[in-house]
Amino acid sequence: MSPNVPLDTVSVIGLGYIGLPTAAVLAQAGKTVIGVDVKQTNVDAINAGTVPFVEEGLESVVAGVVAQGKLSAQLETPKADAYIVSVPTPFKGDHDADLSYIESAASGIAPKLTGGELIVLESTAPPGATERMAEVILEARPEFTGEPNLPNSLYFSHAPERVLPGRIMIEMVDNDRIIGGMTPEAAELNRDLYASFCRGELLVTDAKTAEMAKLTENAFRDVNIAFANELSIIADRQGIDVWELIELANHHPRVNILQPGPGVGGHCIAVDPWFIVSADRQFSNLIRTAREVNDSKPELVIEKVLEKADKFKHPTVAALGIAFKANIDDLRESPSRNIAGSLAERLTDGTVLVVEPNVDELPQELAARDNVELAELDVALERADIVLLMVDHDPFKEIDRTLLQEKIVIDTKGLWR
């Protein structure tokens, strides 16, 4: 039985790709939501009813709940009945998790607590991160306890997201969720809060298992992508069309090989498996190898382009797509973004024309290069000697193939087979 704790006012710490949608659906469900972000520009945009990034369906929801007074944003952590921490969890050193953002968020929450609050870590994190968040808060406020059902109780839980960029507003509501409490009472409170907006099944467990479950989901996908990527390398060396090979193999009733690409990007699959590796370096051999295979794929793409570029005195490469997946503007951990930068660095007498229909300006490391331009698709195709397809955005599917006939085409996604 969950404690009798009000959950009417919720503060979401971190208004990024997960935090803002979470805040929006909670506000849509009737909660009073106060978002907290470190960027004034994000705060101003949200308070104006707009969003600082592209996500299908998000802006209309944000505009509505802001107009209703159910969602606001600010720089400082407020008092609230519940806190949801949705901040970055990058890695450092030898792929160890950097928990400094979580610790900073916890330090900001601690002074605002009066007892009875629910504090949820939603950031994807290694086993023990929720416990570390609790430690930071309880060390700052020793008068409180993580034991349940006392006047000075605090309730700590972990509820990892499992949504797909481009479908976040649908999957945030419809997908099943894992709820991992540091105590059963914390899990019940967390489930009560998420039941206000989530139609999927809410699966209750302990915090450490919930942390590991999210990492396991992404490591599973990473291992399967690595198989496809490694297969593509071997097939290329053997003169075999990997796309036909996979298509044929997948006719087996128990085989479902994924599609290869230029690498693996995003803040989930490219990062989370390393948290398992860092948690147990002795027995995570398969997971580590999969990460190494996927991390090595961009260099092979670069080498293939450079080999073709040697045919030209001043080669021009059209790099199609630098987002980490199709039809989004998210460039985090994008292998395509890194490939474009490496090509620009190595093609000292060449030009890289970046075509990314979902952004209005290049990231700084590309914009600062004299031989890199953000170009429209038709202009890039006309000027290019080499067309390198790295992301299967919808506009690229519709290209008139006759425009490619006189070009060297390197299609890492099998889009133009």
Of 227-241, 292-306, 320-334, 370-384, which range is least confident? 320-334
218 pLDDT above the threshold of 70: yes
Determine the Cα–Cα distance for residues 304 and 245; give it in Å rounded to an integer.
21
Residue 394: CB atoms within 10 A of its CB come to: 9
Q: Which residues contact 73 (CB under 8 A, 6 or more apart)?
A: 15, 34, 35, 36, 37, 42, 43, 46, 47
- Catalytic, out of 31, 70, 268, 297: 268
pLDDT-based confidence at residue 1 (cuts at 50, 70, 90): low
Average pLDDT over residues 371-380: 97
With contact defined as beta carbons under 8 Å apart, do 111 and 39 qualify? no
Using one digit for the tens of pLDDT, what is the confidence trace for 121-145? 999 999 999 999 999 999 999 999 9
Catalytic annotation present for 214: yes
List Cα–Cα distances, 182 to 1, 106, 133, 147, 192, in angstroms: 15, 16, 11, 9, 15
- Catalytic, out of 31, 70, 198, 214: 214
DSSP of 159-216: ------TTSHHHHHHHS-EEEEESSHHHHHHHHHHHTTT--S-EEEEEHHHHHHHHHH
Look at residue 384 in the predicted model and tell me its pLDDT.
97
Q: Measuring CA to CA, which residue among 281, 280, 261, 251 is closest to residue 221?
A: 261
Q: What is the mean pLDDT of the chain?
A: 96
Look at residue 5 in the predicted model and tell me its pLDDT.
77
Q: Which residues contact 299 (CB under 8 A, 6 or more apart)?
A: 342
pLDDT-based confidence at residue 165 (cuts at 50, 70, 90): confident
List Cα–Cα distances, 387 to 31, 34, 231, 254, 304, in angstroms: 49, 46, 23, 36, 12
Using one digit for the tens of pLDDT, what is the confidence trace for 293-330? 999 999 999 999 999 999 999 999 999 999 999 998 88
76 pLDDT above the threshold of 60: yes
Average pLDDT over residues 28-39: 97
Provide the β-strand partners of residue 388.
319, 410
The rounded Cα 233 to chain-centroid distance in angstroms is 26
Of 66-75, 81-90, 185-194, 321-330, which range is least confident? 321-330
Look at residue 91 in the predicted model and tell me its pLDDT.
86
Look at residue 237 in the predicted model and tell me its pLDDT.
95
